[in-house]
Amino acid sequence: MNDTSTRPLRLGTRRSKLAMAQSGQVAEAVRQLTGRPVELVEITTYGDVSRESLAQIGGTGVFVSALRDALLAGEIDFAVHSLKDLPTAQPDELALAAIPPREDPRDVLIARDGLTFQELAAQPTVARIGTGSPRRMAQLNAWARDLGLEIETVPIRGNIDTRIGFVTSGELDAVVLAAAGLARIGRSDEVTQFLETDAVLPAPGQGALAIECATTNAPLAATLAELDDPYTRAAVTAERSLLAALEAGCSAPVGALADLLADGQIVTEMRLRGVVGTTDGKTLVQLSTTGPVPSSSEEAVAMGRELAAAMLDKGAAGLMGERAL
């Protein structure tokens, strides 16, 4: 960095335990990179204070706008987001400076009595499984149907403690959360089942973080870029391109995952899978494509668009329930 100032760098973060944990990890990496102190600046977003469901409040950007406003106002130097919360359109004034290596992108089940999804669905009484995600509802209900069984998906909001509390209190039989979030706060031991992606595809970008700064701060952007993982960036760019081409917001029932396929130690190809479904699980459109690992963002974007076009040809447009504004 050209800026040799010893002033602490200000990292903007949401106030939740998970956001503070993942921002703290990024802050430590930036300290090691720059030799400068990094202070966390806690910012409350609309998504943090609203008690409505994400679908009701629009979903897209509700956890992001306040952080971006602080960046543009110069109140913070950079921000850390969960990538799955970011709208797919990137503002010209802000640089997506780094996408560090991704955590486990899968969803997980935390269930009473250590039960798996299959065991819960086979119970004599209909299992009540909590999630705030239409994407998860669609795929969980479809999975139960494939097993010839029935579950009830219950819409919930709240932080990780609140959601797990629905199970420990007995109000729900299980909840579904992201593996990455639990890993970042050291609670992976509470997971009763990791949901394989053949059954439940994650949200586009799930498990990845986005580090954003103002485009006018080129020295900082260049430094933060050293934390970037090119394989993670290629994968999430393809996933988010699929989401954008479907014209769906981040609360729509769209799942996507780009896997890197390796021959021994050498990554040779990337497989992109996508799913769109009705929340009752009665109708799903699920397709995949495989090709060379994208060598540029343009190639990753093209891969996502091509799969989205194939999904739209199969009727995906009528299943999403939300169109981008």
pLDDT tens for residues 4-33? 467 899 999 998 899 999 999 999 999 999
In the chain, the amino acid numbered 205 is G
Q: Give catalytic residues, as residue numbers.
A: 85
Which H/E stretch holds residue 285? strand 284-292
Q: Where does the pLDDT of residue 249 fall: very low under 50, low under 70, confident under 90, or very high at 90 and above? A: low
In which band, very low, low, confident or very high, does the pLDDT at 317 lie, cut at 50, 70 and 90? confident
For residue 175, pLDDT over 60 is answered with yes
The residue-averaged pLDDT of 144-172 equals 95
- Mind giving me the DSSP string for 167-223? HHTTS-SEEEEEHHHHHHTT-GGG-SEEE-TTT----TTTT-EEEEEETT-HHHHHH
Residue 109: which pLDDT band, with cuts at 50, 70 and 90? very high
Phi and psi dihedrals of 266, rounded to 5?
-105, 120
> pTM of the full predicted structure?
0.89
Please check the confidence at residue 324 and state whether its pLDDT lies above 90. no
Q: Right CATH number for 9-103+204-228 from 3.40.190.10, 3.40.50.360, 3.40.50.300, 3.40.50.720?
A: 3.40.190.10
Mean pLDDT in the chain? 90
- Report which of residues 193 and 85 the model is more confident about: 193
Q: Does residue 190 surpass a pLDDT of 90?
A: yes
Q: What is the mean pLDDT of residues 119-145?
A: 95
Averaged pLDDT for residues 234-255: 87
Helix axes 160-168, 17-34, angle to 10 degrees: 140
Per-residue pLDDT tens over the stretch 26-66: 999 999 999 999 999 999 865 544 445 444 434 446 678 89
- Answer yes or no: are the C-beta atoms of 241 and 272 closer than 8 Å: no
d(CA 201, CA 136): 8
Mean pLDDT of 305-309: 96
For the segment 138-149, the average pLDDT, to the nearest whole number, is 96
Domain with CATH 3.40.190.10 in the chain: 9-103+204-228, 107-195
| Spatial contact of 293 and 223, defined as CB atoms under 8 Å apart | no
Pick from 56-60, 61-65, 223-227, 319-323: least confident: 56-60
Whether domain 235-315 has CATH 3.30.160.40: the reply is: yes
Q: Is the pLDDT of residue 292 over 80?
A: yes
pLDDT at residue 167, rounded to an integer: 98
Rounded Cα distance, 267 and 260, in Å: 6
Start-end ranges of CATH 3.30.160.40 in the chain? Answer: 235-315
Per-residue pLDDT, averaged over 250-265, amounts to 86
Nearest to 241 by CA among 316, 321, 297: 297
User: Is 323's pLDDT higher than 80?
Assistant: no
In the structure, what pLDDT confidence band is assigned to residue 265 with cuts at 50, 70 and 90? confident
Phi/psi for 208 (5° steps) reads: -105, 150
Say whether domain 107-195 belongs to CATH 3.40.190.10: yes
